Chains A and B, each alone.
Chain A
Amino acid sequence: MSGFDFSVIADSLPSLSGGLAMSFMLTAIAMAGGLILGLILAIVRLSNIRFVSTIAALYVNGFRAVPLILVIFWFYFLVPLVIGRPVGALYSVIIAFVMFEGAYYSEILRAGMQSVRHGQWQAAKASGLSFLQTVRLVVLPQALRKMAPLMVTQGVILFQDTSLVYVVSLHDFMTSASIVANTQNRMVEMYVFAAVVYFILCTLGSTLAERLKRNPTLA
């Protein structure tokens, strides 16, 4: 091994930071979209309307049974076919992540809402609130506080999972590091550097989750 070459990292910082921005953007969109979709799925599953809640359950369990890479491949193949023209990797990846994360967030949200004491649901009903009003005004505000640490943990997992867009060559942080590693033939430097960056960012997230768990009033 011929010494650790820091200059290759310094030289490639522009493309790496561009990649990191892409990773953050993907994480943010997948989180926001996943939360919205997850909330709808969770409410539908708690609603006790048999037909739709069965479909939502099938959706959630289906997505949770397959690897994210397969989901990325599925949408990379499907989206252009449905739209009828090539749309590029980014759009199909975003759709894949939102659909996939929706399934995971719905389980967190459902568990959180179910953990709200039964008396709260009954009291809300007794005071004349509809099901949706109960969810919005009574259950969700209490559940969100309890779920905050899990949400952050899922966010950290999601951030790590965005590295999988490597398989469709979308230029996130992981792919950018890998491109430099291969073109400059500097595998050691680039992959160690990437690992350090991921480690620091994810440790910050994990620490935040740990704090929230110990001190729920922070949420």
Chain B
Amino acid sequence: MKYSWNWAVLISEPYLQWLGWGTLMTIVISLVSWAIALAIGTVVGTFHSTGNSRIRLFTSSYISVFRNIPLLLQMFLWFFVVPELVPDAIGTWLKRDLPHSEVVTAIVALGLFTASRVAVQVSAGIVALPRGQGMAAKAAGLSTAQAYRLVLLPQAFRLIVPPLTSEFLTIFKNSSIALTIGVFELTAQTQQIESFTYQGFEAFTAATVIYMSIALVVTMFMRQVERRTSIGNT
């Protein structure tokens, strides 16, 4: 194996800057998408947990459509297909005038995709609660909305911290798929460093170490969340 090492490439300009911007882009896309995923996933998951079969038809369709199409293809659909299907004025705006349209598209695609996975967890968390919780809330005079907001959802979230942790970790990894629509996140930047300098070993090692560090930080953060939200030994 012939290879000339040059670790200094990672700290020379402009490559250091590329790495920095890539890391920042990965973090920003992932965090914004995660916020969207939590919000929509909670709403969809809550409706999904109700017994109403008409509502479930909608929520089940949402979940299965977003789960059964590859994320890469979902990005393409949002980026190339949706602007053609909406009214012309909006389509033109999406294609021409929307600033950083590839970043916005990546965030929307990743957020809605992850929302379907969050919805499944939220719904499972609510269903796993003892039935008496909902009944007691009703008996205490809470409206349905209040019962969910004050009684059921807080307990459900407590139960699903571990699976949500793994979804949170996954969103950082999935954000790399944004490179296929031209977002210069971490993986794209390191691939670019490789093609400019031929120092693939150094570039990909840097990306690997950064992704691992992100995973470590997220895991520690979620462990704190789990510890703070747990009640006693239950």
Whether A66 pairs with B191 at a CB distance below 8 angstroms is: no
Q: How far is the CA of A62 from the CA of B211 in the complex (A)?
A: 10
Q: How far is the CB of B219 from chain A (nearest CB, A)?
A: 9
Q: Which residue of A lies closest to B211 (CB)?
A: A66
Q: How far is the CA of A156 from the CA of B68 in the complex (A)?
A: 8
Whether B173 pairs with A181 at a CB distance below 8 angstroms is: no
B62 CB within 8 Å of chain A: no
Q: How far is the CA of A66 from the CA of B1 in the complex (A)?
A: 25
Q: How far is the CA of A160 from the CA of B190 in the complex (A)?
A: 24
Set of chain A residues within 8 Å of B200, measured between Cβ atoms: 73, 77-78, 81
Whether A199 pairs with B81 at a CB distance below 8 angstroms is: no
Whether B84 pairs with A67 at a CB distance below 8 angstroms is: no
A144 CB within 8 Å of chain B: no
Q: Which residue of B lies closest to A1 (CB)?
A: B84
Whether A195 pairs with B194 at a CB distance below 8 angstroms is: no
Q: How far is the CB of B25 from chain A (nearest CB, A)?
A: 14
Q: Which residue of B lies closest to A192 (CB)?
A: B81
Set of chain B residues within 8 Å of A199, measured between Cβ atoms: 64-65, 68-69
Set of chain B residues within 8 Å of A191, measured between Cβ atoms: 73, 76-77, 80-81
Set of chain B residues within 8 Å of A90, measured between Cβ atoms: none
A188 CB within 8 Å of chain B: yes
Whether B84 pairs with A188 at a CB distance below 8 angstroms is: yes
Whether A194 pairs with B73 at a CB distance below 8 angstroms is: yes
A178 CB within 8 Å of chain B: yes
Whether B69 pairs with A195 at a CB distance below 8 angstroms is: yes
Interface residues on chain B, number (Cβ under 8 Å):
40
Whether B72 pairs with A164 at a CB distance below 8 angstroms is: yes
With A74-B204, A198-B68, A199-B65 in contact, do A174 and B176 touch (Cβ < 8 Å)?
no
Q: 0/1 per residue, B186-204, Cβ < 8 Å to A? A: 0100110010000011001
Option from B70, B172, B204, B212 in Cβ contact (under 8 Å) with A174: B70
Q: How far is the CA of A164 from the CA of B176 in the complex (A)?
A: 10
Whether A65 pairs with B212 at a CB distance below 8 angstroms is: yes
A49 CB within 8 Å of chain B: no
Set of chain B residues within 8 Å of A53, measured between Cβ atoms: none
A8 CB within 8 Å of chain B: no
With A62-B212, A68-B173 in contact, do A187 and B81 touch (Cβ < 8 Å)?
yes
Q: How far is the CB of A106 from chain B (nearest CB, A)?
A: 16
Set of chain B residues within 8 Å of A178, measured between Cβ atoms: 76
Whether A163 pairs with B73 at a CB distance below 8 angstroms is: yes
Q: How far is the CA of A68 from the CA of B174 in the complex (A)?
A: 8
B149 CB within 8 Å of chain A: no
With A69-B187, A70-B211, A191-B76 in contact, do A77 and B194 touch (Cβ < 8 Å)?
yes
Whether A163 pairs with B72 at a CB distance below 8 angstroms is: yes
B147 CB within 8 Å of chain A: no
Binding site for B on A (CB under 8 A): 1, 62, 65-70, 73-74, 77-78, 81-82, 84, 156, 160-161, 163-164, 166-167, 174, 178, 181, 187-188, 191-192, 194-195, 198-199, 202-203, 206
**Shortest Cβ-Cβ A-B pairs, 8 listed:** A202-B68, A67-B176, A77-B200, A67-B173, A160-B70, A163-B70, A65-B215, A187-B80
Supply 10 further A-B pairs (C-beta < 8 A) apart from A68-B176, A70-B208: A65-B211, A70-B207, A74-B208, A160-B71, A163-B72, A167-B179, A187-B76, A188-B85, A195-B73, A199-B64
